[in-house]
């Protein structure tokens, strides 16, 4: 599903910077293969507005609602199993206690994430899934994976799993911690990472401010949404420098429409059903009259 609106194929950037001035500094950069019109619907936390965060139930509901990409946060258990979960503390969403990286998979896999779920009642237990279970459950889905754990590093275990399941072509990786990104790049250099590291952002801002040539080191930029950040000229600057722009996290239909009109390529959302409707309506309204 994820690929049907992409304008090209290839491996899956830096943070979008405000740049509403002249685009005369445009670098001769290869275009990102992940440009998309309308924007891709990226199910934040698997679609945590439709089901408990980072669960297969939420992800399945997101796919059913028309999501193009499934987002998952990653931790590793004490015995080396990579799981989808945002928080280190098990008590924030389950009846369990303790830190996930200090607990075995056998003690985690039976916990129920409905404990803190505030949406419509769910009749059956909803478990914390392993990444391997997610890969098996969604064999055709594009996966956005964010490393949350920084110590010990899960890079080697993650890369081993990606290689053994042969999913590198449908995975891209990010982290808010530079060291986690660089460790993953070292362990599996063929894997695409979202270059939101501080080093990459500094290089981008220097090029933007000084009008010097610069091409994005990876074809996706992933800046957080901010009201004044996504003018069409800003997005076009990023496109000119080799980045598709995926932003997070937006549920408001009006803002979703504005992002589509500005040329953003993907939006992380907790409500893939709302985003799908907005982007489909945008696509229909953009078609030339017969």
How does pLDDT run along the chain (290 residues), one tens digit per residue? 433 333 332 323 333 443 333 344 554 899 999 999 999 999 999 999 999 999 999 999 999 999 999 999 999 999 999 999 999 999 999 999 999 999 999 999 999 999 989 999 999 999 999 999 999 999 999 999 999 999 999 999 999 999 999 999 999 999 989 889 889 989 999 888 886 567 788 888 888 888 889 999 888 999 999 998 899 999 999 999 999 999 999 999 999 999 999 999 999 999 999 999 999 999 999 877 66
Distances (CA, A) of 261 to 76, 195, 210, 225, 232: 39, 25, 28, 15, 8
Phi first, then psi, for residue 146 (nearest 5°) are -115, 120
Buried residues in 142-161 as b, exposed as e (16+ CB within 10 A): bbbbbbbbeeebbbebbbeb
How is residue 130 written in tokens? 């392993």
Burial of 110 (0-12, 13-18, 19+ CB in 10 A): exposed
How is residue 210 written in tokens? 């000084």
How far apart are the C-alpha atoms of 81 and 209, rounded to whole Å? 44
């Amino acid at each position: 599903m994820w690929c049907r609106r992409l304008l090209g194929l290839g491996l899956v950037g830096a943070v979008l910077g405000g740049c509403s001035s002249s685009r005369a500094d445009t670098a001769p950069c290869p275009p990102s293969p992940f440009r998309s019109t309308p924007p891709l619907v990226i199910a934040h936390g698997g679609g945590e507005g439709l089901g408990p965060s980072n669960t297969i139930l939420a992800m399945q509901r997101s796919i059913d609602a028309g999501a193009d990409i499934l987002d998952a946060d990653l931790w590793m258990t004490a015995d080396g199993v990579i799981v989808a979960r945002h928080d280190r503390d098990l008590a924030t969403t389950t009846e369990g206690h303790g830190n996930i990286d200090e607990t075995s998979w056998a003690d985690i896999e039976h916990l129920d994430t409905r404990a803190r779920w505030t949406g419509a009642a769910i009749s059956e237990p909803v478990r914390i899934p392993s990444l391997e279970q997610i890969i098996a459950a969604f064999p055709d889905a594009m996966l956005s994976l964010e490393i949350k754990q920084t110590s010990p590093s899960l890079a080697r275990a993650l890369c081993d799993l990606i290689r053994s399941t042969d999913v590198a072509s449908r995975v891209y990786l990010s982290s808010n911690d530079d060291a986690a990104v660089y460790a993953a790049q070292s362990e599996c250099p063929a894997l695409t990472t979202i270059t939101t590291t501080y080093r990459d952002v500094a290089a981008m801002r220097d090029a933007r401010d000084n009008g010097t040539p610069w091409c994005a080191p990876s074809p996706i930029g992933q800046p957080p949404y901010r009201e004044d950040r996504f003018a069409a000229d800003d997005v076009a600057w990023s496109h000119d420098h080799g980045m598709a722009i995926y932003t997070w996290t937006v549920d408001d239909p009006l803002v979703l429409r504005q992002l589509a009109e500005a040329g953003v390529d993907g939006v992380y959302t907790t409500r893939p059903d709302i985003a799908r409707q907005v982007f489909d309506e945008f696509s229909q309204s953009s078609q030339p009259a017969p």
